[in-house]
Amino acid sequence: MKILDNYNNLGENRIALSVALTTAVIAISFAAIFIRLSGAPSLTIAFYRLFISLIILTPHLATQQKQIRLLKISDLTGMGASGIFLAGHFYLWISSLEHAPVSVSVILVSVHPVMVALAGYFFLGDKIPRRFFLSMALVLMGTAAIASESITAFTAGSTELRGALMALGGAAMMAGYLLVGRRLRQNLTTTIYVSGTYGIAAFLLFLTAVFSGTALTGYPIHEYLLFIALAIIPTLLGHTVFNWALKKVRASLISLLYLGEPLGATLLAFFILRELPTTLQATGGLIILIGLYLVIKNDRSS
């Protein structure tokens, strides 16, 4: 957003930065709650979340014509790839909430730092500290604990395992999105980057909805209000602020702040949805969060 892109003109303001990042953590925690409160199909929710965000960003994008004209083919293809990953992330993760508890879904989708580290090692030549493997073992242990309960529920006729697998697929898509964004954000403004990515992702979701016969209209007014809330609160005040902050603080710190989402969403799910994780899910989730914290703590390259 223009205000965020011009933040440097105000000078470094640590308090403002801290308030912005704290607000972003709280904002993204509401995403799972809004989604669970909606009765619309996952494709519809994902499309409107991004489409409405793009509409809100359009006036700011119109002020950056000079930067847009300087875009390279590599920038455009990069935003295309980023949009594909983001569309896949939102569709899979939102779909997972139809089958799995909020705590299970948000914790499993948060394992993307491990996937980013592994992908960086195999494809980008990033170094991995030896301590990373202990962190990865903890994440795998926690995931196995949650999966074992999901499998038990699955054998009893529940679709919780399907939701858990979708959440992990959403994590993989988020990893791809972050890896592409890590390079693009070094040259593109926040507004141009997120607008291009959100626009491409929304277009892909729109096409998927049309070809699959998923309705995009005809919903009650409260559904559209939830779509607007998703666009403004967790997307613009959450993810977009984090994208802006990538030029202010280390990427490892942003990843660490993302760990606030599982904790915040679980608490909100308890108070709003009266949904409480089981003992095994809570234990597995705690192990995963410890492992993810160690992954990010050991990341000194960003």
CB contact at 8 A, 161 and 154: yes
Query: How many CB atoms neighbour CB 221 within 10 A?
Result: 7
User: Average pLDDT, stretch 264-273?
Assistant: 90
274: left (phi over 0), alpha (psi -120 to 50) or beta: left
Residue 257 phi, psi dihedral angles, 5° rounding: -65, -30
Tell me the C-alpha distance between 270 and 248, whole Å.
Answer: 34
Would you state the structure tokens that stand for residue 289, as one six-digit string? 């969060």
Q: Does the pLDDT of residue 48 top 90, yes or no?
A: yes
Please report which confidence band the pLDDT of residue 122 belongs to, taking 50, 70 and 90 as the band edges: confident
The pLDDT value recorded for residue 3 is 42
Q: Which residue has the higher pLDDT, 135 or 20?
A: 20
Query: What is the predicted pLDDT for the residue at 150?
Result: 65
Q: Kindly list the domain boundaries of the chain, sorted by start residue.
A: 2-114+159-275
- Over residues 217-255, the pLDDT tens digits come to 999 999 999 999 999 999 999 988 887 887 677 666 676
Tell me the one-letter amino acid at 281.
Q
Q: Which amino acid makes up residue 42?
A: S
